Amino acid sequence: MSRTLIAAALLTIPACVVYDTDTRPAPVNFAPDIVWAEAGCFWDNAAYDWIWYFDADVTDPDGMTDVWEVYADVFDDRTGELVDSFLLSDLGGGFWSTEWLQYQTWLDCSYGAYVVDFVAYDYYDAFDTYAVYPYQSW
């Protein structure tokens, strides 16, 4: 069989057309919502140190299992520089929290110019932010 005859045979093979009749909308992901957040420090006699705490209440229209991580990023309110960042633990029911001894951080409870940005991420990288000034009991 000649090459011309093979090429002609290939050109006459019918093509296949695929029609997509699926009219369902693409899935929609909603961002988490930080309903409430609080940060601060207090003196602990047992630890003989200041304790820094970060708490957040987070909801998500897609369900609580869609919330992946919640961070508390502490910034110097005077310079805008990031001072320290903390990953909160999921305690259930949408409540996220963490506590740190001051000596384990870059924070100083006597310094009154911090702002804490809470950031909640879901599994699809949608997020919400919530800023607070920390409570300092000195």
The pLDDT tens digits along the chain (138 residues) read: 555 545 555 555 565 666 666 677 777 899 999 999 999 999 999 999 999 999 999 999 999 999 999 999 999 999 999 999 999 999 999 999 999 999 999 999 999 899 999 999 999 999 999 999 999 865
Which CATH number fits the domain that encloses residue 57?
2.60.40.10
**What is the chain written as a DSSP string?**
--HHHHHHHHHTSPP--------PPPP--PPPEEEEEEEEEEEETTTTEEEEEEEEEEE-TT-GGGEEEEEEEEEETTT--EEEEEEPEE-STTEEEEEEEGGGSS--TT---EEEEEEEEETTS-EEEEEEPPEE--
The pTM assigned to this predicted structure is: 0.79
Tell me whether residue 24 is in a domain. no
Tell me whether residue 131 is in a domain. yes
Residue 125 Rama label (left phi>0; alpha psi -120 to 50; beta) = left
User: How many domains, in total, are found in the chain?
Assistant: 1
Tell me whether residue 59 is in a domain. yes
Tell me whether residue 116 is in a domain. yes
Tell me whether residue 3 is in a domain. no
Tell me whether residue 8 is in a domain. no
Tell me whether residue 118 is in a domain. yes
Domain of 52, in residue numbers: 33-136
